[in-house]
Amino acid sequence: MRTKLLAIAVAASVVLAGCSTVPTKGPIRSGSQAGLAPPQAGVNVKANPPRPNTPPLALVNGYLEAMSDSSNFDQARQYMTPEAAAAWKPESKLSVYDQSSANAVSLLSNGSVELKARLIGSIDDRGSWTPAKQGESVDVVFRLADVDGQKRVSNAPDGAYLGSNQFESRLTARSLYFLTPDRQTLVPDPVFLPINLPPGQAATQLIQELLKGPTSRLAGGVVTAAPPGTQVNVSVPVELTTATVALSDAAQVLGDQERHQLAAQILWTLRNVSPRVRITVGGAPLLDDQPDVLSIGSFSQYDPAASSPQLKELYGLRAGKVQHITGLDGAKDIAAVPLNDSLLYENTAESLAVNLRGDAGAIVVRNQPLVAYARLDATDKADKLITIKTSGKVLRPSYDYQENLWILDRAESANPRLRVRNRDGKLSDVVTDFHGDTPVALRMAPDGVRALLMMRKASTGQNYVETATVQLNDAKQPKLGGFRPLELPLTNITDVSWNQSGILVAGRSSPNALAQPWQVNTDGSQTHLLPGASTEFATKLIASNPSADTFPVVEDTSGALHWQLKDLSWQMDDETSKTPYIVPVYPG
């Protein structure tokens, strides 16, 4: 029973964290939880049981308040008839609704009470957030019956419901971690937990979900080192900052390499709950060649965003020529240094991508149907400029950690084409279907599994943001699928980028508002102004990547560059912000 209630609590907590709101004022947020906007510490308001002779409207409002206490759904059951309480399954789904309307809950003429409000999103039984589509709503009628002279809710609703003003104080964002198909790096899979869950319960829930495999968001794109049937024995206690994960005997079959991979998954999944982890299988340590207690520092090679210090180096195009922007760290004067030793410099470029090592790049050649790639410092006379033929509109290319170069051309045609060129020079078609909408920007995550897209909707002409997952189809051909529109409460979107805490989006909170950079969870569950966002300039383009050492650089609507400093203030330099303007690019 305790395990079931814990699963219910997690499902409920996930929902709350997923609310899409756009506050223009509020607390500064910081952190580096991969793929998730960091949560605000909250204080739970304990739900109260029903009072005697509570009138129908107040009774249902109390019932909805009790639902928000995901750690104790039995409190909410006290508002129900015994039959309804027994049939209720709050763990099946949690729906977050817009609580801003005073008329969201109303008394009907027949004595029933109706909850009718805009749906913001929902959380499934894995804790995975799905944003609501435009126009979706919650509409449920709670019927009441007499139980020992007191009114009680007689119909079990579909899952649980939570008002939007409570999610930040109730839930916290976490990630499960799975492996890329080559098992070389980790990919975050976001879920949510109750914000004040004790460390042991949080660790237990996370490891149980990890061992179930990826959620539907990453299905088909990642793998796990855990053999089928692997479970955690009883629970994961956390004592003196050390979590103990006792795996079932199913993990005994793993070889040394697979054990290291599974340990990396577990360490990264628990990194925000416990900095140290002891992992055993059948009472013996999972890893023979490691200390009894493991720390995440021993598994940093699985993080593609930390694999290269060059990720924080800024590049750009000025008048179509490749530049290296130096001095952003204050060590020397800021300058745009032309990379005229590179073979790329001989061409005029429409756009630029730089690999994660910062030693090579790719450009879309202006007025020619070509993407060209070469070293950025081509002092080696043996270096060659290699070209790939393209057609139609070509988006800015994108690199992942494997040196794969992702190229999307024919973007404005009826059949956009996505291809990937691997480090050995093999060019492969990637099967995809954009369903008639137009891709405007493609940004691959460093892991090469997740894609971030800015799309233009055919029916409205407006840009929107969605994520997708690279999978393999039945013919073992790469496929871009699992499209998930983030349904952001933003308009006039002009750019998107990966960031250390999820996604950055350039857009407006309303058509007449200032264009600013917004921090968004990778699942679209939370939208907040980037900490330190300025009202002194309007944002057009954003340069960023998931490295914790990378700070955003913004090109404003006039073409000037602004880069964010460690104190979250913004700096602009006259030399790099004069015409011809620079289009900023970080590796990725």
Q: In the 3-class helix/strand/coil scheme, how is 216-283 assigned residue by residue?
A: CCCCCCCECCCCCCCCECCCCCEECCEEEEEECHHHHHCCHHHHHHHHHHHHHHCCCCCCEEEEEECC
Q: What is the pLDDT of residues 147-173, one digit of tens each?
A: 999 999 999 998 999 999 888 788 888
Instruction: Please report the pLDDT score of residue 102 as a whole number.
Output: 83
**At which residue do the structure tokens 């745009």 appear?**
336
Classify domain 306-585 by CATH number. 2.120.10.30
Give the model's pLDDT for residue 382.
77
Q: Is the model's pLDDT at 269 over the cut of 80?
A: yes
CA–CA gap between residue 540 and residue 511 (Å, rounded): 15
Mean pLDDT of the chain: 89
pLDDT at 561 over 70: yes
Q: What would the two tokens of residue 388 be?
A: 């790939």
- Angle (deg, nearest 10), helices 2-17 and 199-212: 90
Helix, strand counts (H, E) of the chain: 7, 39
The model's pLDDT over 9-27, given as tens digits with 9 standing for 90+, comes to 333 333 333 334 333 222 2
Phi then psi for residue 166, to 5 deg, are: -115, -10
Gap between the Cα atoms of 548 and 193, Å rounded:
24
Residue 289: its pLDDT value, please?
86
**Bridge-partner residues for 353, per DSSP?**
362
pLDDT tens across 62-76, in order?
Answer: 999 998 877 778 999
Q: What is the mean pLDDT of residues 459-466?
A: 97
Q: Show Cβ contacts of residue 272 under 8 Å, excluding neighbours closer than 6 positions.
A: 33, 174
Question: E-strand spans in 319-437?
Answer: 321-326, 335-338, 349-354, 360-365, 370-375, 386-389, 398-399, 405-409, 417-421, 427-430
Mean pLDDT (whole number) for 550-560: 95
Ramachandran category for residue 345: left, alpha or beta (phi over 0 → left; psi -120 to 50 → alpha): alpha
Predicted confidence at residue 327, as pLDDT, reads 87
* pLDDT class of 45 with cuts at 50, 70, 90: low
Distance CA 581, CA 574 (A): 11
Helices (H), 103-150: none
Between 69 and 298, residue with greater pLDDT: 298
Higher pLDDT, 158 or 506: 506
Q: At what angle do helices 199-212 and 256-269 cross, to 10 degrees?
A: 130
The residue ranges of DSSP E strands in 98-159, in sequence order, are: 105-107, 113-123, 129-131, 137-142, 144-147, 150-153
Residue 5 binned pLDDT confidence (cut-offs 50, 70, 90): very low
The model's pLDDT over 327-380, given as tens digits with 9 standing for 90+, comes to 887 777 889 999 999 999 999 999 999 999 999 999 999 999 999 999 998 777
The 10s digit of each residue's pLDDT in 118-144 is 999 999 989 999 999 999 999 999 999
310's CB contacts (< 8 A; 6+ apart) are 356, 357, 358, 359, 587
Question: Can you state the percent helix, strand and coil of the chain, rounding each to 5?
Answer: 15, 35, 50
Tokens at residue 178, please? 């799975």
Over 60: is that where the pLDDT of 29 sits?
Answer: no
The domain limits of the chain are 2-170, 172-304, 306-585
Q: Which of 179, 176, 128, 173 is nearest to 447 (CA)?
A: 179
Contacts of 233 (CB under 8 A, 6+ apart): 246, 247, 248
Output the six-digit token pair for 313: 């180096």
How far apart (Å, rounded) are the C-alpha atoms in residues 170 and 194? 6
Tokens 């020079």, residue located: 425
pLDDT score recorded for residue 216: 94
Q: Running DSSP on this structure, what letter comes out for residue 46?
A: P
Q: How far apart are CA 25 and CA 2, in angstroms?
A: 40
For Cα atoms 440, 190, 214, give the angle at the middle one, nearest 5 degrees: 100
The number of residues making up the chain comes to 588
Q: How far apart are the C-alpha atoms of 52 and 562, rounded to whole Å?
A: 61
pLDDT for residue 305 is more than 80: no
> pLDDT tens across 365-394, in order?
999 999 999 999 877 767 899 999 999 999
Q: Mean pLDDT across the stretch 230-250?
A: 95
Task: Judge whether residue 7 has pLDDT over 60.
Answer: no
Local structure of 301: helix, strand or coil: helix
Shortest CA distance to 344 belongs to which of 354, 356, 335?
A: 354
Angstrom distance (rounded) from CA 208 to CA 216:
16
Q: What is the DSSP string of 417-472?
A: EEEEE-TTS-EEEEB---TT-EEEEEEE-TTSSEEEEEEE-TTT--EEEEEEEEEE
> What region does 82 belong to: left with phi over 0, alpha with psi -120 to 50, or beta?
alpha
